[in-house]
Structures are given as C-alpha cells and as structure tokens.
Structure 1
Amino acid sequence: MKIMNAIFDWSYSIIIAFTCALLINAFLFQPTRVQGSSMEPTLQNDNYLFVSKVSHTLRQLPDYSDIVIIDSRVLRERTWKDDLVDPMNTYLGMLKLVDQSADHHIWVKRIIGKPGDVLEFKDNKVFRNGIALEEPYTKELMLYSSEKKITVPEDHVFVMGDNRNNSSDSRFIGPVPINQVLGKVVLKL
C-alpha cells in the first residue's frame, strides 16, 4: 500500500509541475531557438532566446524595432490550443525529440510597421510614412524594391528580418495579425 501511495504522490507532483510549466510557457515566458539566418547579424542560427509572452496574452501592440516571434500562418485563425501546443513542440524540438523543420511556422522577426503606417521599399531602404528608416541592425543593403505602397491594417503589424536579402517576412506573407505576434524577445543566449 505504501508503494501505491508513493507512486500516486509522485504522479500527482509530476502532473502539477508539468501543468504549471505548460501554463508558464504558454502565457508568460517561453524559451525558443533561432532556426535560419533571416535575423543575421542580430541573431545567429541556433541562438537560444527567452520570449516574454505577456504582450501576447494581454494583446498589446509591440513597439517599433522590437524583435518578436510570430505565427507565420497569417491566413489561419490562431486558437488557445495553439498557445499550448507550440511551446511543447519547441521543447521537444530543443531536445531533438521532434523535427521542427517539417512544420516551421514560428518565425523570429523585427517590428517595422504598426497599424496605419504606410510603408515603401525603394532606393535600397524602407520608408515608413515617407521617412527612410535608420536601420543599423540590418546585415547589408536591401536589394528588394516595390512600386506598391503598403498600408498596415488595423490590428496588424508588418515584420521583417534583419537579413533583408534572405528573409521570408511580411513582404511575402503580408501583415501579421496582432494575435499572431506570440511574444517579444527579452534575452539572447
């Protein structure tokens, strides 16, 4: 009988600890890892990051130049289940128990535009509301240009990688809904 009580006590403790860790990672803080070179030179492939998810939980608008993680599936409605499943997949991927590259939809990017901003891409620069951005964090001169002006819709942001010539970002997937901005990077290891 003592063995059964001990097994029950340990099982109960493990379940409580796992539930607390899952809730903390879903709604407060989450470790993640950079995959790829789209944020060079600021972030390198395999850098570990700590992300504050408080802004996502409270649906707060990020600031210009914040480095954030996003759900790149912008045409898909995000649910609370995603907030629980994504951190689990991140942990399993960091432990090399699952291959994250098969369904890599969590991206690390920089906030460039907020609702109402008009963005242009010309003369190897990004212009926000008619003013060229000073971007010392970019890797090299941006080769992308477009005749089209983009107005960031309400409840959306426009994100770009610092490695502008090697980044999938809002130039290709469009503006990102605020509820798909999953958190702000607060620490790089």
Structure 2
Amino acid sequence: MNEEKKKNETWEWTKALLIAFGLAAIIRVFLFTPIVVDGESMMPTLENGDRMIVNKIGYTVGKPDRFDIVVFHAPEQKDYIKRVIGLPGDTVEYRNDILYVNGKQLPEPYLEQYKAEVVDSPLTEDFTLEQKIQSTTVPEGHVFVLGDNRRKSKDSRHIGAVAIDEIIGNTSIVFWPIKDFGFVK
C-alpha cells in the first residue's frame, strides 16, 4: 500500500511539472517573451543590456500605434528594438530637428533629455520619406521606425519601412537591472 502511494504521489508531481513547463512554453511562444537590449540605438530611453518583456499578443488583435516601442525581425537575421514614428499612409519629415507627420508638427517628449545634451548639431538630420524609402508615404502594411539615439541607430532610414508582419510585439517594461525596473515611454 505504501509503495503504491509513493508511485501515485510521484506521478502527480510529474504531471504537475509537465503542465507547468507546458504552460511556461505556451506563454513564452505565444504571449510574452524576454529580450535583451543590444546596443545604444534606443538611448537614453533604453540602455544596452536592459532586459524587457515583449508583449506578443498586442498586435495579433490590434495594430501598432505611433511612438510604440516595438521588437521586429531585421534583415540581418537579428531582432531590433525601435520606436514607431510613421504608420501606413503617413508622410514623415524632419526639419530643424522637428518631427512632422502628415504636415503637422509632433512633439517627441522622450527625446527632450537627449536634445538638451546635444548642443553641437541636430539630433535628427533633416529628411523626407522620399529621400529615405523612395516613397512619399509609409507603404500599406508597414511602419517607419527610428531609434531614440538618432545618431547611432540603424533604422528605417537605412533598412526601409518595416513590414507589420515582421513585428514580434511591443515592449514597455524593463525588468532588469532592478534600478531601471518599470515602464518606459
């Protein structure tokens, strides 16, 4: 009797562990996944080595919003983290370090700190979409993304508009290092 009770208890623990591992795998594959920021392209918003949670389900039911921080598959078989600036059908232009979308000036509060530190020249060089992606508007099914560290970011100015299908998800939670724990905008 005691032997059978031990076997039953072992089987129950085994089932519980298998279910836990299965749920963890499902959550990681379909819902949320961790990512490590690699490089300086999103500074000062994100630092090299920050660990974040990527929400994979947000764009399966919705679309990216302007200024979302997104993770996507880049052409170099690498995942990039950038900020959505232009949505499908938008015109995007920078003049005198100011963002214009569809002819309207838009504030970029996430760049204020960095712009205050940069005194020798503009943070973002003047450009139009036509100069960067040979189109006057962001193509349907695509977004135009930029890194917050405009001087050191490989983004849509270099790789072109990003297909929405290539976006893994959005991210706004830093969980490591602990001193940076919290939401970013």
Alignment match of 1:23 (pick from 17, 23, 26): 26
Aligned partners of 1:56 and 1:179 also within 8 Å = no
Give the C-alpha shift of residue 31 in structure 1: 1.3
Letter in 2 for 1:145: D
2:125 paired with 1:144? yes
- 1:137 is paired with a residue whose SS is helix
Alignment match of 1:181 (pick from 161, 167, 176): 167
Give the C-alpha shift of residue 169 in structure 1: 0.6
Letter in 2 for 1:180: E
Letter in 2 for 1:121: Y
Deviates more, 1:33-42 or 1:4-13: 4-13
CA radius of gyration, larger in: 2
Give the C-alpha shift of residue 125 in structure 1: 2.7
Aligned counterpart, 2:141: 155
Alignment of 1:51-62 (within 5 A): 51-58=54-61, 60-62=62-64
Aligned counterpart, 2:156: 170
Q: Deviations over 1:54-92 (max 9, x none)?
A: 12333x21111111111112xxxxxxxxxxxxxxxxxxx
- 2:29 is paired with a residue whose SS is helix
Deviates more, 1:28-37 or 1:48-57: 48-57
TM-score, length-scaled by structure 2:
0.72
Q: Percent identity?
A: 39
TM-score, length-scaled by structure 1:
0.71
Distance in 2 separating the partners of 1:155 and 1:135: 24
Alignment of 1:68-87 (within 5 A): 68-73=70-75
Aligned counterpart, 2:94: 121
Distance in 2 separating the partners of 1:66 and 1:143: 19
Give the C-alpha shift of residue 25 in structure 1: 1.4
Distance in 1 separating the partners of 2:91 and 2:40: 27
Q: CA RMSD in A?
A: 2.6
Letter in 2 for 1:70: F
Distance in 1 separating the partners of 2:54 and 2:129: 33
Alignment of 1:96-107 (within 5 A): 105-107=78-80
Q: How many residues align?
A: 159
Change over 3 Å in CA distance of 1:185–1:163 after alignment to 2: same
Change over 3 Å in CA distance of 1:154–1:29 after alignment to 2: same
Change over 3 Å in CA distance of 1:111–1:160 after alignment to 2: same
Aligned counterpart, 1:50: 53
Distance in 2 separating the partners of 1:175 and 1:11: 48
Change over 3 Å in CA distance of 1:29–1:5 after alignment to 2: same
Aligned partners of 2:91 and 2:129 also within 8 Å = no
Change over 3 Å in CA distance of 1:67–1:143 after alignment to 2: closer
Change over 3 Å in CA distance of 1:186–1:15 after alignment to 2: same
- 2:110 is paired with a residue whose SS is coil
Letter in 1 for 2:137: T
